[in-house]
Amino acid sequence: MKFKVGDLVTLSAAGRRMEQNSCVFCGFGIVVLIGDRRDFPITCQWFSGDRSDYWFKEYELKFFKQNS
């Protein structure tokens, strides 16, 4: 697994193509748990809007890079 707890992430191109991720198209998230769910093993708290927890597969995410 390339992500670890505490990593800042955003949606990858593949993640943006998935309609189920429309609620997190903007902003970024922080990985809070890995491996809790077999089908979507990465749990992130998302920081755009309601700050809810969302679950992802690894290919749906990429590391967040702040604009300089």
Q: Is the pLDDT of residue 68 over 50?
A: no
Query: Domains in the chain: how many in total?
Result: 1
- Say if 55 falls within a structural domain: yes
Q: What is the pLDDT of residues 23-60, one digit of tens each?
A: 888 889 999 999 967 899 999 999 876 668 899 999 99
- Say if 12 falls within a structural domain: yes
- What's the whole-model pTM score? 0.87
- Say if 68 falls within a structural domain: no
Query: Which domain range does residue 25 map to?
Result: 8-60
Helix ranges restricted to H, the chain: 13-17
What are the strands of the beta sheet with 8-11, ordered from one edge?
53-56, 42-46, 29-34, 8-11, 61-63
Q: For residue 6, name the pLDDT band (cuts at 50, 70, 90).
A: very high
- Say if 67 falls within a structural domain: no
**pLDDT in the model for residue 9:** 97
Phi-psi region for residue 27, left (φ > 0), alpha (ψ -120 to 50) or beta? left
Per DSSP, 50 falls in state: S
- Say if 52 falls within a structural domain: yes
